[in-house]
Amino acid sequence: MNKILLIIEREYMSRVKKKSFIVLTILVPLLFIGMFAFIGYLAVKGDELGDEKRVQVIDETGSFTGKLQNTSSITYVYTQDRFADARNTFRDKGYNFLLHIPPESSPAPVELLSDKKPSATTIEAIESGLSHIAEAERLRAAGIDTAVLAKAQKRIDIKAKQITEAGEKDAQTYTAYAVGFLSAFLIYMCLFIYGTQVMRGVIEEKVSRIVEVIISSVRPFQLMLGKIIGVGLVGLTQFVLWIVISVVLSMAGGTFMAGKAKHRMEQTMPAKAQEQMQQVQQMQTPDNSMAQIMESIESIPVVYTLSCFLFYFLFGYLLYSAIFAAVGSAVDNETETQQFMLPITLPIIFTFALAQSFIINNPDSSLSVWLSMIPFTSPIAMMIRIPFGVPAWQLALSMLLLVLGFVGTTWVASRIYRVGILMYGKKASYKELAKWFMYRD
């Protein structure tokens, strides 16, 4: 046991002290927060940041003239030019697009001409505007008052509630979606990152012949287990630091933005400061969307969810890292690992792909339950299901099977590892791996 602890300490300290570990630990949260902030900014300000698109409109029906509304990115200019002439001159007049609406009697379609391919959002915006105008015209022709119809239209929002032993509570379905998907994504990413680190470490030690010296002092199983646990602790340390840094940065950023917004409001409209302060106070009531977001976050059983996440992260990593270590011991370079990587990673990729479309929408289906029980797929499938509520017996059985799967996989991997780390110059195959597994101690 002392030898395993020494190997764990060596693997852990040698990686944690690297500059790359410190740099990545700090940069990754900054990059992710910056990326999402930039995406959000573009989503809100995208139209304003893009170039203005000028559209020359030739409406031969007369039904759309003057009715298409300009936006921050599209400006419509109506002309009486002949279409045949305009298609050759619209570029010279400074227009980006030529929109031709033929007479109703003509079988020709509505056309949008341009030198470059128009973006999907531009086509959708023009189509939507034309469709709304055409719909209003047909309603008026049928004697239906569009104003009355608009007032009659009402969106009905459903407040989903869950009946529990403690009574009714908000279902918070969308929060469960977000937590489940994020947890599964993090496990999916970490299995690849830290699993391949174990494999590369084994290959490096084998190629440099360092492993031959180490094996003289410890058993192959002890070396493999120490390496797996040591790298796993590095990943856990980095992951915890990412969470702490992300939370601190998010809170600081939120406070800073709130202060900037308040300062801008006071500077731009000082005469209405009292009125605006009242509006801000009203915005801070429970009905506000921000308050609803905070309520959704508070509804998450943090300790329960985090405990399950750590369990499935650790044992999922341990299970797959044992296989990665066996593969690393069987080859002499990373190029030779390709023939083994697909069978290893296929269950993870399959489950993660299925999680986005099926499991997250059908967490209690038979397929979802079975995937959350199989050790090779349960780390991702079960973390998708947990925010939606999982029976205690299913969670306990899944955890037990994952632990047993880790023990069994480690035993199989160790029998391959003990032979593979001392094999050089021989290209491994599945048949060769089976022979190594059958060798007696």
From residue 293, alpha-carbon distances to 56, 101, 197 in Å are: 44, 45, 37
In the predicted structure, residue 269 carries a pLDDT above the cut 50: no
Q: Give pLDDT, residue 285.
A: 46
- pLDDT band of residue 158 (cuts 50, 70, 90) is low
pLDDT attached to residue 220: 76
DSSP for 385-438 reads HGGG---HHHHHHHHHHHHHHHHHHHHHHHHHHHHHTT--S----HHHHHHHHH
CA distance 417 to 221: 8
* 382 pLDDT above the threshold of 80: yes
Mean pLDDT within 387-407? 91
Position 63 scores a pLDDT of: 85
Digit-coded pLDDT (tens) for 84-135: 888 888 888 889 899 999 888 778 888 999 888 888 888 888 898 888 888 8
Helices (H), 164-272: 173-207, 210-215, 220-268
Would you say residue 287 has pLDDT above 50? Answer: no
d(CA 162, CA 141): 47
Q: What is the pTM of this model?
A: 0.67
Residue type, 93: K
Tell me the HSE value of 203 on the side-chain side, using a 13 A CA sphere.
17
What confidence tens digit (pLDDT) does each residue in 170-198 have? 656 677 777 888 888 888 888 888 888 88
Distance CA 186, CA 179 (A): 11
Mean pLDDT lowest among 84-98, 195-209, 310-324, 395-409: 195-209
Would you place residue 376 in the very low, low, confident or very high pLDDT band (cuts 50, 70, 90)?
A: very high
What are the structure tokens assigned to 399, written together? 């955890």
Segment 33-64, tens digit of pLDDT: 788 777 777 766 655 555 778 899 999 888 88
Q: Which amino acid is at 106?
A: S
- Say whether 334 sits in a helix, a strand or coil: helix
Domains and CATH numbers, the chain: 48-152 (3.40.190.10), 171-248+297-441 (no CATH)
DSSP secondary structure letters along 120-139: HHHHHHHHHHHHHHHHHHHH
Residues 168 and 166: their CA atoms lie apart, in Å, by 7
For the chain, the residue count is 441
Cβ–Cβ contacts within 10 Å for residue 318, how many?
21
pLDDT given at position 170 = 60
The answer to whether 120 touches 133, Cβ cutoff 8 Å, is: no
Nearest CA among 356, 197, 276, 249 for reference residue 31? 249
- Residues 118 and 122: their CA atoms lie apart, in Å, by 6
Three-class SS state of 294? helix
